[in-house]
Structure 1
């Protein structure tokens, strides 16, 4: 989904030609955030899973 959002933002007509300075900054910030999230998701996808095991119930000497 992040890839589609990035492509959509890049496909929009340049805000510079319309003189929308605030829009340019907003689009740049959004693209930076999307790329950061995409990179983070790719790093997480390459991590190996950690086996935490199956929890067990500990019994104390007072348990009967």
Structure 2
């Protein structure tokens, strides 16, 4: 499946609106086969819009990575505990 570009959202909205109008026309004219095909296309267009909206929400949500501050990474102690003598 192809992922739509965010810049194309307005075009997808236009396509969706056109499909809705075509479904209305096909129902009015009794073109049942056409109605079914248009509903499949409409579901695809709506799915792409949901993908774009979810991606925009995901990108706009800040995620805390828990990065330590400089003070936490460079902390020193004044009286360090001596290491045990390996010779005993």
TM-score range relative to shorter protein: 0.5 to 0.7
The partner residue of 1:29 within 18, 35, 40 is 40
Identify the residue that residue 15 of structure 1 maps to in structure 2. 26
Greater CA radius of gyration, 1 or 2? 2
Q: Structure 1 26/19 Cα, relative in aligned 2: closer, same or farther at 3 Å?
A: same
Following superposition, the deviation at residue 11 of structure 1 comes to 2.2
Distance apart, 1:14 and its partner CA: 2.1
Task: Tell me the residue number matched to 2:16.
Answer: 6
Q: TM-score normalized by structure 1?
A: 0.64
Gap regions ≥5 residues in structure 2 = 1-10, 61-88
* Residue-pair matches, total: 49
Unaligned runs of 5+ in 1: 50-64
Q: TM-score, normalised by structure 2?
A: 0.49
Q: Distance in 1 between matches of 2:21 and 2:30?
A: 17
Flag as ranges the 4+ runs of structure 1 deviating above 4 A: none
1:46 and 2:60 are equivalent in the alignment: no
